[in-house]
């Protein structure tokens, strides 16, 4: 089997990808993760006895460490999931996003370039550097505007989006300048098991089952395209194996929903799964002051990946959301572990004065 270096593999999307890669024997996996607040090695507990999986704690900003890992494990590909990814946190602390998403991606590209240049001609042809990015780099859409395509001009509106846009440009530059065989994917909002509960769907699930307010920014009419994480992971692997070098592929769930609709659907699922007499979880909905620069709508046009690679999302939103809610209900130990004092402090910082 080939070997893949996955960065940020203890996070939400990265962990789901690694678990799927080992389950389906896609590759041997080396996981480099800094273990920030949103990382969780418990996500990968099933691989503790898997000799084809290796974990290394470290930072993609550490050029020497990344270079050592590349030389030791001789991967056939690098998939960069490592990123600070929460818009709200980028508003409070943009420097963390610049350090990881921009400078970290640069350091990873540099180490990968030096490694790749020393490979044999055949190994160079087979090597891939796949960068995982976001639809937020494209900015905000009006309600009737066409969905984001790969050639949509970049127009980032948050420090997070700006940092990811910058990293995307560096990846593109390393392909055009040095010939490094890069690929980039820009995905819509992911949801599913093991997502850190600062993001909307797990936040609402956990607040609801603890009878806490369900905060919704503004009027709740901001629209996102929701992509089930397993669908995303399968798309990533398809791009890695069959994508055209130097290209970008947009990956979306074809599930545009307003935030208010998402929250109401979660409440309806909980009303069915863990009902309380004469009570609906929707009564906990609380509208709060909108965050600065909140983009109104995102939507992904998946035509390119569908036509070129034959990928389509398999999970519809209602079935994926039900699976997600059920996972959080079935994993109270995981939930308890992530709901730390630091997590509670973050919720207070972000929501108490809205």
Please give the Cα distance from 275 to 263 (Å, whole number).
Answer: 16
Which of 202, 195, 223 has its CA nearest to residue 299?
223
Grouping H, G, I as helix, E, B as strand and the rest as coil, residue 279 is strand
137 close to 187: Cβ distance less than 8 angstroms: no
Concerning whether 135 is annotated as a catalytic residue, the answer is yes
Please pick, among 84, 88, 135, 168, the residue that the annotation labels catalytic.
135
With 0-12 / 13-18 / 19 or more C-beta atoms within 10 angstroms meaning exposed / middle / buried, residue 18 is: buried
Please give the Cα distance from 284 to 250 (Å, whole number).
Answer: 35
Using alpha carbons, list the distances in angstroms from residue 334 to 8, 48, 118, 194, 228: 19, 17, 43, 8, 20
* CB contact set of 317 (below 8 Å; sequence gap of 6+): 226, 253, 255, 257, 265
Q: Are strands 223-228 and 256-258 parallel, antiparallel or unpaired?
A: antiparallel
Neighbouring-strand partners of residue 256: 225
Neighbouring-strand partners of residue 6: 31, 79
Please give the Cα distance from 201 to 262 (Å, whole number).
Answer: 8
Please give the Cα distance from 36 to 145 (Å, whole number).
Answer: 37
Using alpha carbons, list the distances in angstroms from residue 24 to 18, 19, 104, 336: 10, 9, 30, 30
Please pick, among 160, 237, 249, 298, the residue that the annotation labels catalytic.
160
Which of 215, 187, 198 has its CA nearest to residue 284?
215
Please give the Cα distance from 81 to 131 (Å, whole number).
Answer: 7
Concerning whether 73 is annotated as a catalytic residue, the answer is no
Which of 211, 187, 208, 189 has its CA nearest to residue 199?
189
Please pick, among 88, 136, 168, 256, the residue that the annotation labels catalytic.
136
Concerning whether 71 is annotated as a catalytic residue, the answer is no
Please identify every residue annotated as catalytic. Answer: 135-136, 160
């Amino acid at each position: 089997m080939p070997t893949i270096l996955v960065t940020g593999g203890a996070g939400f999307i990265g962990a789901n990808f690694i678990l799927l890669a080992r389950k389906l024997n896609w590759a041997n996996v080396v996981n480099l993760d800094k273990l920030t607040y949103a990382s969780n090695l418990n996500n990968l507990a099933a691989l503790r006895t898997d000799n084809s999986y290796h974990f290394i704690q470290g930072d993609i900003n550490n050029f020497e460490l990344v270079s050592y890992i590349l030389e030791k494990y001789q991967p056939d590909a690098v998939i960069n999931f490592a990123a600070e990814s929460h818009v709200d946190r980028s508003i409070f602390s943009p420097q963390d996003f610049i350090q990881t998403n921009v400078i970290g991606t640069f350091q990873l590209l540099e180490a990968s370039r030096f490694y790749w240049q020393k490979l044999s001609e055949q190994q160079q042809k087979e090597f891939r550097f796949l960068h995982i990015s976001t639809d937020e780099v494209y900015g905000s859409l009006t309600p009737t505007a066409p969905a984001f395509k790969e050639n949509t001009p970049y127009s980032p509106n948050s420090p997070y989006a700006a940092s990811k846009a910058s990293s995307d440009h560096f990846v593109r530059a390393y392909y055009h300048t040095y010939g490094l065989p890069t690929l980039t994917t820009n995905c819509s909002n992911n949801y599913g098991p093991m997502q850190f509960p600062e993001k909307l769907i797990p936040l609402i699930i956990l607040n609801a089952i603890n009878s806490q307010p369900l905060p919704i920014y503004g009027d709740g009419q901001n629209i996102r395209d929701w992509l089930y994480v397993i669908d995303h992971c399968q798309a990533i692997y398809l791009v890695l194996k069959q994508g055209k070098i130097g290209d970008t592929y947009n990956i979306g769930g074809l599930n545009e929903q307003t935030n208010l609709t998402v929250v109401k659907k979660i409440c309806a699922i909980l009303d069915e799964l863990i009902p309380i007499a004469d009570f609906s979880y929707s009564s906990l909905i609380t509208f709060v002051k909108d965050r600065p620069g909140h983009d109104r709508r995102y939507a992904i046009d998946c035509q390119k990946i569908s036509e070129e690679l034959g990928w389509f999302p398999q999970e519809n939103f209602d079935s994926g959301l039900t699976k997600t809610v059920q996972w959080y209900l079935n994993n109270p130990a995981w939930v308890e572990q992530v709901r730390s004092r630091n997590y509670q402090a973050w919720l207070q910082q972000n929501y108490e004065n809205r």
